[in-house]
Amino acid sequence: MQFKHVTLDFDGAVAILKLDHQEVMNAVSVDMLGGLADALDEIEEKKDEVRCVVLTGAGRAFCTGANLQGRNSQSKKTKAGMTLETGFHPFLRRIRNLHCPIVTAVNGPAAGAGMSFALLGDMILCARSSYFLQAFRRIGLVPDCGSTWLLPRLIGKARSVELSLMGERLPAEKALEWGLVNRVHDDGMLMEEAMKLARDLASGPTVALSLIRKLYWDSPENSFEDQLNLEFQCQLRAGDTQDFREGVGAFLEKRPAQFKGK
């Protein structure tokens, strides 16, 4: 399925969401944000069928940040950052609250907002040649799209500030060493490995996996007592699923579980 600068395909229970504006290395425009919103609508309409999402880029880039083409010709009244709350933030919030796990397959440069998009994955896989870049300082702006929230929690304040102040490339291998990403694969194997992982997640207990996502997203803002209470609430919900009953039955019968995502 083709949306504005976005492609959406389905492989069984896996949705493959691809940023697809190769002429600008998949830089994000208002049109692309609209395409992403439409694609997420389609995914959510198939909520009972889609049990994992793979987010990647077309061509040689994952996403090189905001599309600045035509910026100098825009009205001086158009302030930098205005599209954050109207376009970027709704997409980021929808990804955070998605009903199933997300695998990001970082196939090339992930810069600026593209770095944030990549880091939204529950599992982050990188091509060996890919890299991350906090590019904002290069054009006189501050990091956005949640990067100042995500980065300190993933790699600590010192490294986060250095990436943002210096604007230097972070190669995939170094990102793995820092604990920013989960796995690095040879370029030609990235999508095969991403799909293998996505299919494994898609065959799992989707409700429980969604609740696991929620627990870790909410954890940084919660006190210990708050988190205990949230774990209790989530466990009650997970324990009321068919998949929990199937999982226990499979364990007792010493057979592989056949989860249905319900």
Give per-residue pLDDT as tens, 156-212: 999 999 999 999 999 999 999 999 999 999 999 999 999 999 999 999 999 999 999
Strand partners, 10: 15
> Tell me, what's the pLDDT at 71?
54
> Tell me, what's the pLDDT at 174?
98
Give per-residue pLDDT as tens, 19-42: 999 999 999 999 999 999 999 999
Domain with CATH 3.90.226.10 in the chain: 2-203
The C-alpha R_g of the chain, in whole angstroms, comes to: 19
> Tell me, what's the pLDDT at 73?
46
Task: Answer yes or no: is pLDDT of 241 > 60.
Answer: yes
- Fold of the 206-253 domain: Lyase 2-enoyl-coa Hydratase; Chain  A, domain 2 (1.10.12)
Domain with CATH 1.10.12 in the chain: 206-253
* 166 backbone dihedrals φ, ψ, rounded to 5°: -90, -25
In CATH, the architecture of 2-203 is: Alpha-Beta Complex (3.90)
Give per-residue pLDDT as tens, 69-126: 755 444 455 566 788 998 999 999 999 999 999 999 999 999 999 999 999 999 999 9
Q: What is the mean pLDDT of residues 4-21?
A: 97
Q: What is the mean pLDDT of residues 214-234?
A: 96
**Token pair for residue 199?**
């299919």
Question: How far apart (Å, rounded) are the C-alpha atoms in residues 2 and 159?
Answer: 38
3-class SS letters over 126-176: EECCCEEECCHHHHCCCCCCCHHHHHHHHHCHHHHHHHHHHCCCEEHHHHH
Q: Are 155 and 137 in contact (CB under 8 A)?
A: no
